[in-house]
């Protein structure tokens, strides 16, 4: 028995009456319990696993976690470097203070040596103008007069 066009139209109308469009499906507020979504690929309907929707986010999260671990490692290294720099700075400041104290002792010793060599006389460098302006000359001073330019 051959189907007539009228029979075919009746079957199509029955199928359409029982079919639902994707737009008429219930909308849910959560993916809990949902395993796939209906979708259209070309001319056919396909089922899309929910896991495919979260894959880009999962991949991005994995990359973010890896980057965070790298940053944590760098932070640890930087903290160690800062600690070493602080310790080196402290030692450098101590060395500068020691050098400063040593320089003062050396200056004092040099002055004592100059005074001893001069037989108790002090060497006093000054300009001729300053020398002339002195109200009173030091008897134990050897004035070293320099010319001003």
**Amino acid 58: pLDDT:** 86
What are the CA-CA distances from residue 48 to residues 5, 10, 17, 45 (Å)?
A: 36, 32, 25, 10
pTM above 0.75, yes or no: no
- Please check the confidence at residue 92 and state whether its pLDDT lies above 90: yes
CA 119 from chain center: how many Å? 64
pLDDT confidence of 99, banded at 50, 70, 90? very high
3-state secondary structure 99-116: HHHHHHHHHHHHHHHHHH
Judged against a pLDDT cut of 90, whether residue 42 lies above it is answered with no
Structure tokens at 109: 């010793």
């Amino acid at each position: 028995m051959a189907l007539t066009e009228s029979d075919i139209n009746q079957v199509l109308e029955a199928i359409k009456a029982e079919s639902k469009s994707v737009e008429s499906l219930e909308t849910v507020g959560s993916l809990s319990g949902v395993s796939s979504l209906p979708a259209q690929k070309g001319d056919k309907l396909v089922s899309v696993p929910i896991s495919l929707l979260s894959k880009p986010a999962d991949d991005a999260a994995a990359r973010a976690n890896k980057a965070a671990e790298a940053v944590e490692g760098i932070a640890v290294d930087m903290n160690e470097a800062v600690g070493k720099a602080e310790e080196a700075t402290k030692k450098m400041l101590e060395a500068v203070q020691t050098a400063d104290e040593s320089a003062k002792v050396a200056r004092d010793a040099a002055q004592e040596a100059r005074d001893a060599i001069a037989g108790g006389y002090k060497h006093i460098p000054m300009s001729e103008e300053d020398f002339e302006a002195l109200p009173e000359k030091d008897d134990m001073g050897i004035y070293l007069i320099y010319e001003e330019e």
